[in-house]
Amino acid sequence: MPVFFVCAGLIGLLAVILTVNIARLRGKKKINLGDGGDKEMLAAVRAHANLIEFAPLCLLLIYFVSDFYGFRVVAGLSVVLLVARVLHAGGMLGLIPLGRFLGALGTTLVLAVTSVMVVLVGFGLKQY
């Protein structure tokens, strides 16, 4: 479980970095609200928003299955999610070629796998 917590914390720090990047661009470009039609600002806002849209659900699902699947499965899913989110953000900001695609693919795989795992766990649980 320590790998899960480290990855979750690093994803949180990635959110902080992306937030600070938006604030920096807002000051530099004098854009107070929205993206102001600026492509760089739009990419920064979407990189942050996409992280916020997907990371919490994926982390929650990984946490749900942590009691039912082994350490290696939980650690593997956590690391794949972290790497995927870094790749996606880097790709959106133009820093990592193919990063957006690979990050979206990795995140979607983690979301799909953990969703199926939760469903399977749910079928195995007994109601009181």
Residues 55-71 as b or e (16 or more Cβ within 10 Å = b)? beebbebbbbbbeebee
Please report the pLDDT score of residue 127 as a whole number.
75
The residue extents of the domains of the chain are 2-120
More confident residue, 115 or 126: 115
Read off the pLDDT of residues 25-66 as tens digits, 9 standing for 90 and up: 999 989 988 888 899 999 999 999 999 999 999 999 999 999
Contacts 24+ apart (CB under 8 A), 98-107: 106/80, 106/81, 107/54, 107/58, 107/81
Q: Residue 126 — pLDDT band, cuts 50, 70, 90?
A: confident
CATH number of 2-120: 1.20.120.550
Q: What is the pTM of this model?
A: 0.92
Mean pLDDT score, 101-122: 97
Mean pLDDT score, 66-71: 93
